[in-house]
Each structure stands twice: as structure tokens, then as C-alpha cells.
Amino acid sequence: MSRMGNLLNRRGFLVNSAAVATALGAGAFVGQQLFADRTDVAARVDEAPPAHPLVPALEMATESMNALEDIHDYQATFIKRERVGRKVVDATMDLKLRENPFSVYLKFLKPSAGREVIYNAGQNGGKLQAHDVGFAGLAGTISLDPTGSYAMADNRYPVTMIGMRNLVASLLEQWLEETKLTGMTVNYYPNARIGSTSCKAIESSHKTPAQGVKFQLSRLYIASDTGLPIRVQQYEFPGRREREPVLVEDYLYTDIKTNIGLTDTDFSTHNPRYGF
């Protein structure tokens, strides 16, 4: 298997799925800053029309969000694929995340292996700290506005928007908005797999564009053993040159280790194990 993002077959297995490999901000992470405005998303599930085909999806996604309640920090491999304009951006990173205070450490594995990014809410004037590799690394550690043009180059979202909790919260809100629509198709794959990981997959789709609908097809993967939301894929409606939905966002968390006791040192440029 050689690429991320292809469709599930009838038995729920990914067709041609695998790890992929740029961006300083490492974005699209539907995340903390966004989630702060969405803390009531799960409570709003009861407002959905009871007969809508998305209701079981909303319930499953809410359960997955609840599985994160007792997780205070985690380490994982984060893999993303995004379409930014006409460009497809792939990256693989080591991730450390702490929920409170919200803190992120990223180390790129590919491309630009060794590039590091730190964001620690309430520190450094709200700016991320980063250093590059190669010739660009001669600049040393730089401080960047997470939403500025340099940090946002080749990214759909800023680095402040990251994490499984916020990934599923964003999709929950999207689906809640889509319960106002009719004609949707929702499929459930209880025996899906991502590599060796058993998952439950939910796939929602629209036949035709509608006002307020950003994605034609959305997909959430929930790990069967932990209940954690480990992957979200989003496809736009095809353009004039495409026949199939176009993958524009694909975010995958693997090798997840939770509640490992991350400290301020893990999110500091003074950590001697880092390259800052």
C-alpha cells in the first residue's frame, strides 16, 4: 500500500493506505483554540432530529470524545496530508501534547527531518518557537505568530489547532450543522483497519453541493480498543477535471501513549534533548 486517503472497501479496509511524509506550522489540526469555542458540542447532539442518518455517527463521535476526558497528555506519531491550493503537502512528525496548559512539541521526521516546533499557551507572548534544518537552520530559533503568513505557509490551519480532542469536536460540529440537511448518506464500518489497528469507521457523504457544505465526504476512524478518534479524512467535491471526491485533509495519529507525565521541560526550548 502506497498512499493515504483512498476509499474504504465494502468490508471496511482501506484501499492503498500507508504512512506519508511540510510545513513549519505542521497545521491542520483541528484544535485547542477552536475547541475553546466548542466545549458544548457534545451536549448539542440531543438537538439533532432523531430520525436523521447522522444521529448514530454523532453518538459514536461523542463517545469517542468522552474517551479523551481522562487523558491529560500524550505522545504520538502524527501524519498529515493536506491540499493547499494546488499543492499536496505531506508530513510525518513526533508529537507531544499536554491539554492544560495547552502545549505542543513537534519534531519532523519527514520532510526536513530534525525541524522542531514548540507552542506553549501563555508562554513566549503566544508565539511558537521553531528552528529549521540545513541552510535555513542558520537562523537559529525563531519566534513566529502561529497565524502569520510564514508559519501558515503550506498549511490549512495554524499549529495552535491540534489534537484528537479538537479533531473530533470539529467534526461533531460539522455533522450537527449537516443534520439540517436531507439526502445524506451515512455508512458504518465496524471492522475497519488502519494497518494493524482495528477501527470503527463512519463515512458521511453528499450527492450534490449545498449551501454551507464544505466537504462532499467525511470520514472518522475510532480505535476499537481505546475508543480514541485517531483519524479524520475530508474530501471536497470534484472540480471540472476530477471525477471522484478530492482528498484535501487527512490527519492520522499512531503509536499513541497516553498520560505519560509530560512536564514544562517537554515544551521548553531549553530541553537538552532538543535541537534549539
Q: 0.95 exceeded by the pTM?
A: no
pLDDT digits (tens, 9 = 90+) for 146-173: 877 777 777 787 778 889 998 998 899 9
CA distances from 82 to 96, 117, 122, 128, 249 (A): 21, 19, 28, 21, 5
Model confidence band, residue 122 (pLDDT cutoffs 50, 70, 90): confident
pLDDT digits (tens, 9 = 90+) for 12-70: 544 332 222 233 434 433 334 444 344 577 678 888 888 999 999 999 999 999 999 99
Which neighbouring-strand residues pair with 26? none
CA distances from 187 to 4, 213, 223, 263 (A): 20, 18, 17, 41
State the first-to-last Cα distance of the chain, in angstroms, to the nearest integer: 36
Model confidence band, residue 8 (pLDDT cutoffs 50, 70, 90): low
Dihedral, CA atoms, 250, 236, 226, 12, nearest 10 degrees? -100
Domain positions in the chain:
32-183+250-267
Which CATH architecture is the domain 32-183+250-267 placed in? Clam (2.50)
pLDDT digits (tens, 9 = 90+) for 182-235: 999 999 999 999 999 999 999 999 999 998 899 999 999 999 999 999 999 999
* φ, ψ for residue 108, nearest 5 deg: -70, 135
CB-count burial class (<10 Å; 0-12, 13-18, 19+) for 153: middle
pLDDT digits (tens, 9 = 90+) for 250-260: 999 999 999 99
